[in-house]
Amino acid sequence: MTWILLVLAGIQPSWAEPARTILIDGDLSDWEDIPGYSDPSEDITKPGTDILEFKIAHDETHLYYYSRHAGPIVSEDAGTGGQGRYYYLLFIDLDNNPLTGFNPATTDPECYDPVSLGCDLEFEFERDWNDAQTLYVYQYFYGYGGPRSLFLNQSDLLQGLIRFGPADYDNKAQFKFLTESIPSGIVFTDDIRRSGYTPGTDVFMTQEFSPDMTECEIGVDFRAALKDSMGNPHLHIGKTISVGLACESSPWADCGDGMTPVFNYVLEGAQEPIECAQSADLVIDCSGVVASETRTLRLKLLAGSAPLECTSTLCAGATLVDITLDCASPEPETPFDCATLTGVLVSQVLDAVQTQGGGTLAATIQSLPPGTVRIVSSVPFHACLCGEELGLPCAGGIGWPLSTCAVSNLCDGVDGNEDTLLGFTGGLSLTLLDVACPPTPTPSETETPIPPTPTATSSPSESPTETPLEPTSTPMPTETELEPTPTMTSTPIPGDLNADEVVDFFDLFAFSKEWKKSEDSGDPRADLHDDPEIDSKDLLLFQMILLSQGQ
């Protein structure tokens, strides 16, 4: 078990638990060594809805959760002529963004804590008597907090997808799966009542109770969370989610109990420890406000050594992870605050590294200050940041060398004021700091861990050929590699924009100044492709020249 520090204030702490399978069979001993999240007792008068403890677990295919209550998990007026209703709801923030989905607190402030959780999907069950008090029925189903009308949200479900955006609880689409065939097995549901109960048992959700009915365990297949518009599943190993639990029952005088959400629960997989070649902390800081019209940034983690100069540079090297940082508030009336924004961006980094790392990189926030993500890699790497706000469009292949120097004043709605930390006035700042590799795991307790090997970026004098990566590791084509021609007497040398008779990374800054100029107005040494404009074709040839000279 590892402890994860929070990135948001005033929320439940979360643990990163390894994958483990829970048998949903009523034997609750599987949960004994799993840490729980407590909720105050007697904060509601009905013991059955008074949540005392909540736990969450997962394996490679299922999400599991458990709750313990002060009394039996039934409605107090069941069989007495009352409504006999009991509702048990798990709210899931699939994209870890409080501004998408609906806020559960808005459904009934008397029942649920007013916290910042954007519910994109509910896992829910009802166990109740019907209105006539003649039939005890139960139903397991899901609620999709989509950003569109109820009809269009249902249309999404019939395509097997869930999309994200600010949502209205009244447009929540309720559904369940009668078969494992998606989407044909989906049917829409109503609450349990005399005429509204939808027959059929959901095939992806199972539940069992303790003998005294004060504890329950539930398992849900990842497939129930469906996919995005690109066909990617919403629940999978490596995903980071946030969850909240609420229970309510009749009679309605003292409605229900809702727990403070658990943020940043990581669906960790079973994987071998990474043999660390380099480790670095990505530090995300925030000050003031973030403009609602800000655009996305892309942070690329690339194989190889960092540039030496603190200036715009070629994002060179094989892409290990490509991270989209979205700091734009979707609604002007609900702007991000700094704490929420930092948490959202941390989640975006964790998700990207854990899904794209492929055993080469891993990320953690274990025992780190808020806003800090530690990245561990089995190969030397560096970071390159690009985006329209920086004046460095990602399509151009030029970016800011974040491994060499920090950048600030991002996402503040002002283009062109980006600076190092010395000029930080507001918005975001990003810093990547090399840290010591963690100790190498040892096969026995008596062996002494081998000190971590210094990274390739720790010594500016190291030759690029000493890195364990071969040039063919980069995405540049090697078949048409240009050979250096030091004996040529013709001038100017293509790519040698600073006229020092060698093409190297010091020419990159000058090259970026020629970007998108015409062949008539631009420096002819940058017009390598000999066409009307200095563009990506010239950049590709420039990269090949660098590779041919060992840069």
pLDDT digits (tens, 9 = 90+) for 271-288: 667 899 999 999 999 887
More confident residue, 96 or 471: 96
| Predicted local distance difference test score (pLDDT) of residue 209 | 93
Token pair for 269: 């997989």
Q: How many CA atoms lie within 13 A of 394 on its CB side?
A: 14
Encoded amino acid at 314, one letter: L
Residue with tokens 């000190």: 451
> What's the pTM?
0.59
pLDDT category at 465 given cuts 50, 70, 90 is very low
Lowest mean pLDDT among 115-129, 277-291, 297-311, 447-461: 447-461
Lowest mean pLDDT among 167-181, 258-272, 375-389: 258-272
Check: CB of residue 398 under 8 Å from CB of residue 508. yes
C-alpha distances in Å from residue 16, one per residue of 76, 180, 320, 351:
37, 30, 24, 14
For residue 353, what is the enclosing H or E element? helix 338-356
Check: CB of residue 38 under 8 Å from CB of residue 53. yes
Check: CB of residue 259 under 8 Å from CB of residue 55. no
pLDDT category at 57 given cuts 50, 70, 90 is very high
Give the C-alpha separation, 226 to 177, whole Å.
Answer: 11
The stretch 433-454 carries a mean pLDDT of 57
More confident residue, 30 or 355: 30
For residue 363, what is the enclosing H or E element? strand 361-364
> What class has domain 477-551?
mainly alpha
Average pLDDT, the chain: 78
The stretch 370-379 carries a mean pLDDT of 91
**One-character DSSP codes across 149-187:** -HHHHHHHHHTTB---SB--GGGPEEEEESSSSTTTTEE
Q: Nearest Cα to 550, choosing from 484, 479, 475?
A: 484
pLDDT category at 463 given cuts 50, 70, 90 is very low
Work out the burial of residue 189: count CB atoms within 10 Å of its CB; fewer than 13 is exposed, 13-18 middle, 19 or more buried: buried
| Predicted local distance difference test score (pLDDT) of residue 115 | 61
Q: Is the pLDDT of residue 545 over 60?
A: yes
CA–CA–CA angle 271, 273, 277 (5° rounding): 135
Check: CB of residue 250 under 8 Å from CB of residue 238. no
More confident residue, 474 or 190: 190
Residue with tokens 């980006």: 418
Beta sheet of 278-287, edge-to-edge order: 361-364, 372-377, 278-287, 427-435, 407-410
The stretch 375-398 carries a mean pLDDT of 92
Q: Is the pLDDT of residue 380 over 70?
A: yes
C-alpha distances in Å from residue 136, one per residue of 83, 133, 205:
11, 8, 19
Give the C-alpha separation, 102 to 165, whole Å.
Answer: 9
| Predicted local distance difference test score (pLDDT) of residue 336 | 54
Q: Is the pLDDT of residue 249 over 50?
A: yes
**One-character DSSP codes across 295-311:** --EEEEEEESPPPSSSS
Q: Is the pLDDT of residue 482 over 50?
A: no
Work out the burial of residue 211: count CB atoms within 10 Å of its CB; fewer than 13 is exposed, 13-18 middle, 19 or more buried: exposed
More confident residue, 478 or 211: 211
Highest mean pLDDT among 11-20, 27-36, 37-46, 341-350: 27-36
The stretch 157-170 carries a mean pLDDT of 92
pLDDT category at 376 given cuts 50, 70, 90 is very high
Token pair for 511: 């090259």
Classify each residue of 446-476 as buried b or exposed e, where b means 16 or more C-beta atoms within 10 Å of its C-beta: eeeeeebeebbbeeeeeeeeebebeeeebeb
The ranges assigned to domains in the chain are 38-266, 278-435, 477-551
Which DSSP symbol is given to 473? G
pLDDT digits 0-9 by tens, 358-368: 889 988 887 78
More confident residue, 385 or 334: 385
| Predicted local distance difference test score (pLDDT) of residue 469 | 34
Give the C-alpha separation, 311 to 61, whole Å.
Answer: 45
Q: Is omega for the bond preceding 199 within 30 degrees of 0, making it cis?
A: no
Please compute Rg for the chain using Cα positions: 28
More confident residue, 550 or 349: 349
Q: Give the three-class secondary structure for 141.
A: strand
More confident residue, 333 or 196: 196
pLDDT category at 289 given cuts 50, 70, 90 is confident
pLDDT digits 0-9 by tens, 503-543: 765 666 566 667 667 777 878 887 876 677 776 666 666 66
Give the C-alpha separation, 363 to 489, whole Å.
Answer: 50
Q: Nearest Cα to 470, choosing from 303, 301, 279?
A: 303
